[in-house]
Amino acid sequence: MSTDAPADPAPQPSAELPNPLAGQGESALPTADAAYWEGAAASFDDEPDHGLRDPAVRSAWAARLRSWLPSAPATVLDLGCGTGSLALLAAEQGHRVTGVDRSPRMIAQARGKLAGHDAAFLVGDAAEPAVGERRFDVVLVRHLLWALPDPSAALCRWAGLLAPGGRLVLVEGRWGEAAQIGIPAGELTALVEPLAAHTRVEDLSHDPVLWGKEVADERYALIAELPRRHR
Protein backbone atom coordinates (compact mmCIF):
# COMPACT_ATOMS: atom_id res chain seq x y z
CA MET A 1 0.00 0.00 0.00
CA SER A 2 1.07 3.51 -0.60
CA THR A 3 1.74 5.98 2.14
CA ASP A 4 -0.51 8.38 0.37
CA ALA A 5 -4.25 8.56 0.35
CA PRO A 6 -5.71 10.34 -2.65
CA ALA A 7 -5.75 14.10 -2.26
CA ASP A 8 -9.42 13.85 -1.25
CA PRO A 9 -9.75 10.21 -0.20
CA ALA A 10 -13.08 8.53 -0.78
CA PRO A 11 -14.23 4.93 -0.34
CA GLN A 12 -13.70 2.77 -3.39
CA PRO A 13 -16.39 0.45 -4.74
CA SER A 14 -14.80 -2.65 -3.26
CA ALA A 15 -15.22 -4.70 -0.13
CA GLU A 16 -15.27 -2.61 3.03
CA LEU A 17 -13.56 -2.94 6.37
CA PRO A 18 -14.23 -1.15 9.66
CA ASN A 19 -11.88 1.37 11.19
CA PRO A 20 -13.29 2.51 14.54
CA LEU A 21 -10.97 5.52 14.53
CA ALA A 22 -12.62 6.94 11.44
CA GLY A 23 -15.67 8.17 13.33
CA GLN A 24 -18.32 7.05 15.77
CA GLY A 25 -18.82 3.31 15.47
CA GLU A 26 -17.81 1.83 12.16
CA SER A 27 -17.01 3.76 9.02
CA ALA A 28 -16.51 2.41 5.53
CA LEU A 29 -12.96 2.35 4.25
CA PRO A 30 -11.62 0.89 1.01
CA THR A 31 -10.03 -2.49 1.00
CA ALA A 32 -6.54 -1.37 0.12
CA ASP A 33 -5.51 -4.52 -1.66
CA ALA A 34 -2.45 -4.84 -3.86
CA ALA A 35 -4.55 -4.82 -7.03
CA TYR A 36 -6.02 -1.40 -6.24
CA TRP A 37 -2.59 0.19 -5.69
CA GLU A 38 -1.13 -1.61 -8.70
CA GLY A 39 -3.82 0.03 -10.82
CA ALA A 40 -3.16 3.41 -9.21
CA ALA A 41 0.60 3.29 -9.75
CA ALA A 42 0.63 4.72 -13.28
CA SER A 43 -1.15 7.95 -12.32
CA PHE A 44 -0.21 8.12 -8.64
CA ASP A 45 2.42 10.82 -9.06
CA ASP A 46 -0.01 13.12 -10.86
CA GLU A 47 -1.21 14.41 -7.47
CA PRO A 48 0.99 17.38 -6.48
CA ASP A 49 1.84 15.97 -3.04
CA HIS A 50 2.52 12.48 -4.42
CA GLY A 51 4.89 13.12 -7.30
CA LEU A 52 6.34 16.38 -5.90
CA ARG A 53 6.92 17.53 -9.48
CA ASP A 54 6.23 21.19 -8.72
CA PRO A 55 9.44 22.73 -7.30
CA ALA A 56 7.50 24.73 -4.70
CA VAL A 57 5.62 21.65 -3.44
CA ARG A 58 8.81 19.62 -3.39
CA SER A 59 10.67 22.32 -1.49
CA ALA A 60 7.86 22.58 1.08
CA TRP A 61 7.93 18.85 1.78
CA ALA A 62 11.72 18.82 1.91
CA ALA A 63 11.68 21.57 4.54
CA ARG A 64 9.09 19.77 6.65
CA LEU A 65 10.93 16.48 6.39
CA ARG A 66 14.19 18.11 7.43
CA SER A 67 12.51 19.42 10.56
CA TRP A 68 10.97 16.03 11.41
CA LEU A 69 14.01 13.80 10.89
CA PRO A 70 17.11 13.66 13.09
CA SER A 71 20.49 14.83 11.89
CA ALA A 72 21.89 12.80 9.00
CA PRO A 73 22.86 10.12 8.57
CA ALA A 74 19.93 8.30 10.14
CA THR A 75 18.24 5.05 9.16
CA VAL A 76 14.71 5.72 7.91
CA LEU A 77 12.05 3.07 7.34
CA ASP A 78 9.43 4.51 4.96
CA LEU A 79 6.35 2.32 5.30
CA GLY A 80 3.83 2.40 2.48
CA CYS A 81 6.46 4.31 0.54
CA GLY A 82 4.47 4.42 -2.69
CA THR A 83 6.59 5.67 -5.58
CA GLY A 84 9.34 6.86 -3.24
CA SER A 85 8.91 10.64 -3.32
CA LEU A 86 9.48 11.16 0.42
CA ALA A 87 12.16 8.47 0.44
CA LEU A 88 14.02 10.42 -2.23
CA LEU A 89 13.87 13.62 -0.17
CA ALA A 90 15.21 11.76 2.86
CA ALA A 91 18.02 10.20 0.83
CA GLU A 92 18.95 13.58 -0.63
CA GLN A 93 19.24 14.88 2.93
CA GLY A 94 21.82 12.19 3.69
CA HIS A 95 19.71 9.47 5.29
CA ARG A 96 19.80 5.72 4.62
CA VAL A 97 16.32 4.69 3.52
CA THR A 98 14.44 1.40 3.41
CA GLY A 99 11.03 1.54 1.76
CA VAL A 100 8.20 -0.99 1.96
CA ASP A 101 5.06 -1.06 -0.18
CA ARG A 102 2.72 -3.83 -1.25
CA SER A 103 2.54 -2.62 -4.87
CA PRO A 104 5.36 -4.02 -7.07
CA ARG A 105 4.76 -1.27 -9.65
CA MET A 106 5.14 1.47 -7.08
CA ILE A 107 8.26 -0.19 -5.71
CA ALA A 108 9.67 -0.35 -9.24
CA GLN A 109 9.12 3.39 -9.62
CA ALA A 110 10.71 4.06 -6.22
CA ARG A 111 13.79 2.05 -7.17
CA GLY A 112 14.09 4.06 -10.35
CA LYS A 113 13.78 7.39 -8.52
CA LEU A 114 16.42 6.46 -5.96
CA ALA A 115 18.91 4.76 -8.24
CA GLY A 116 22.36 5.72 -7.03
CA HIS A 117 21.17 6.63 -3.52
CA ASP A 118 21.68 4.70 -0.29
CA ALA A 119 18.24 3.09 -0.38
CA ALA A 120 16.59 -0.32 -0.58
CA PHE A 121 12.98 -1.22 -1.33
CA LEU A 122 10.89 -4.26 -0.44
CA VAL A 123 7.53 -5.45 -1.70
CA GLY A 124 5.48 -6.34 1.35
CA ASP A 125 2.92 -5.45 3.99
CA ALA A 126 3.70 -2.09 5.58
CA ALA A 127 1.66 -3.01 8.66
CA GLU A 128 3.98 -5.99 9.25
CA PRO A 129 7.22 -5.10 7.44
CA ALA A 130 9.55 -8.03 6.89
CA VAL A 131 12.77 -6.35 8.04
CA GLY A 132 13.90 -9.03 10.46
CA GLU A 133 15.80 -7.86 13.51
CA ARG A 134 16.81 -4.52 12.03
CA ARG A 135 16.10 -1.40 14.07
CA PHE A 136 15.72 2.10 12.65
CA ASP A 137 16.14 5.67 13.84
CA VAL A 138 12.88 6.73 12.18
CA VAL A 139 9.69 5.07 11.02
CA LEU A 140 8.08 7.41 8.47
CA VAL A 141 4.46 6.85 7.45
CA ARG A 142 2.30 9.12 5.31
CA HIS A 143 -1.44 8.58 4.81
CA LEU A 144 -1.48 4.88 5.64
CA LEU A 145 -3.04 4.44 9.09
CA TRP A 146 -6.41 5.70 7.84
CA ALA A 147 -6.74 2.55 5.71
CA LEU A 148 -5.64 -0.06 8.26
CA PRO A 149 -8.18 -2.16 10.17
CA ASP A 150 -6.13 -2.01 13.41
CA PRO A 151 -4.02 1.16 13.65
CA SER A 152 -3.16 0.50 17.29
CA ALA A 153 -1.56 -2.86 16.51
CA ALA A 154 0.37 -1.34 13.61
CA LEU A 155 1.71 1.46 15.80
CA CYS A 156 2.92 -1.02 18.42
CA ARG A 157 4.64 -3.05 15.72
CA TRP A 158 6.28 0.06 14.24
CA ALA A 159 7.46 1.31 17.63
CA GLY A 160 9.14 -2.05 18.11
CA LEU A 161 11.16 -1.47 14.95
CA LEU A 162 12.76 1.67 16.39
CA ALA A 163 16.05 1.87 18.20
CA PRO A 164 15.90 3.43 21.70
CA GLY A 165 15.32 7.14 21.29
CA GLY A 166 13.97 6.68 17.76
CA ARG A 167 10.97 8.50 16.42
CA LEU A 168 7.71 7.93 14.63
CA VAL A 169 6.83 10.49 11.96
CA LEU A 170 3.16 10.06 11.05
CA VAL A 171 1.46 12.25 8.45
CA GLU A 172 -2.29 11.72 8.66
CA GLY A 173 -5.60 13.52 8.45
CA ARG A 174 -9.35 13.33 8.20
CA TRP A 175 -11.06 13.87 4.86
CA GLY A 176 -14.48 13.83 3.27
CA GLU A 177 -17.77 15.62 3.62
CA ALA A 178 -20.78 13.29 3.68
CA ALA A 179 -18.77 10.34 5.00
CA GLN A 180 -15.48 11.29 6.61
CA ILE A 181 -12.57 8.91 6.75
CA GLY A 182 -9.24 9.18 8.48
CA ILE A 183 -7.91 9.64 12.00
CA PRO A 184 -8.29 12.91 13.91
CA ALA A 185 -5.10 14.20 15.50
CA GLY A 186 -6.49 13.84 19.01
CA GLU A 187 -7.30 10.17 18.54
CA LEU A 188 -3.94 9.35 17.00
CA THR A 189 -2.16 11.23 19.79
CA ALA A 190 -4.01 9.13 22.38
CA LEU A 191 -2.86 5.94 20.63
CA VAL A 192 0.76 7.04 20.38
CA GLU A 193 1.32 8.64 23.77
CA PRO A 194 1.64 5.34 25.73
CA LEU A 195 4.51 4.36 23.40
CA ALA A 196 6.38 7.66 23.45
CA ALA A 197 8.41 9.85 25.76
CA HIS A 198 7.29 12.97 23.90
CA THR A 199 4.84 13.79 21.12
CA ARG A 200 4.01 16.90 19.13
CA VAL A 201 1.49 17.63 16.41
CA GLU A 202 2.02 20.04 13.52
CA ASP A 203 -0.99 21.34 11.62
CA LEU A 204 -0.50 20.97 7.87
CA SER A 205 -3.93 22.12 6.70
CA HIS A 206 -2.96 25.77 6.52
CA ASP A 207 0.05 25.27 4.27
CA PRO A 208 -1.47 24.99 0.76
CA VAL A 209 1.94 24.71 -0.88
CA LEU A 210 2.27 21.19 0.58
CA TRP A 211 -0.85 20.06 -1.27
CA GLY A 212 -0.64 22.19 -4.38
CA LYS A 213 -3.95 23.84 -3.45
CA GLU A 214 -6.01 25.18 -0.56
CA VAL A 215 -7.49 22.43 1.64
CA ALA A 216 -10.27 22.67 4.20
CA ASP A 217 -9.94 19.30 5.92
CA GLU A 218 -7.70 18.15 8.76
CA ARG A 219 -4.10 17.32 7.82
CA TYR A 220 -1.28 17.07 10.30
CA ALA A 221 2.01 15.44 11.24
CA LEU A 222 2.52 13.70 14.56
CA ILE A 223 6.14 13.31 15.65
CA ALA A 224 6.73 10.95 18.57
CA GLU A 225 10.05 10.46 20.33
CA LEU A 226 10.52 7.06 21.96
CA PRO A 227 12.26 6.65 25.31
CA ARG A 228 16.05 6.42 25.23
CA ARG A 229 15.68 3.00 26.76
CA HIS A 230 12.97 0.54 25.89
CA ARG A 231 10.43 0.07 28.64
Judge contact between 119 and 91, C-beta under 8 A: yes
The whole-angstrom separation of Cα 179 and Cα 22 is 10
**Residue 31 pLDDT > 80, yes or no?**
no
**Residue 15 pLDDT > 90, yes or no?**
no
Query: Is this structure's pTM higher than 0.75?
Result: yes
Regarding beta strands 75-79 and 136-142, do their DSSP bridges make them parallel or antiparallel, or are they unpaired?
A: parallel
Region 178-194: mean pLDDT is 91
pLDDT per residue over 127-169, tens digit each?
A: 999 999 999 999 999 999 988 889 999 999 999 999 999 999 9
The whole-angstrom separation of Cα 65 and Cα 87 is 10
Residues 6+ apart with CB under 8 A from 151: 19, 21, 145, 183, 188, 191
Q: Is the dihedral of CA 90, 51, 98, 157 positive or negative?
A: positive
**Residue 14 pLDDT > 50, yes or no?**
no
In degrees and rounded to multiples of 5, residue 14 shows phi and psi of: -130, -175
pLDDT per residue over 102-113, tens digit each?
A: 999 999 999 999
Q: How many CA atoms lie within 13 A of 74 on its CB side?
A: 23
In degrees and rounded to multiples of 5, residue 159 shows phi and psi of: -60, -35
pLDDT per residue over 42-58, tens digit each?
A: 898 899 999 999 999 99
What is the b/e burial string over 140-153, where b = at least 16 CB atoms within 10 angstroms of the residue's CB?
bbbbbbbbbebbbe
How far is the CA of 179 from the CAs of 113, 147, 176, in angstroms?
Answer: 35, 14, 6
pLDDT per residue over 63-90, tens digit each?
A: 999 999 999 999 999 999 999 999 999 9
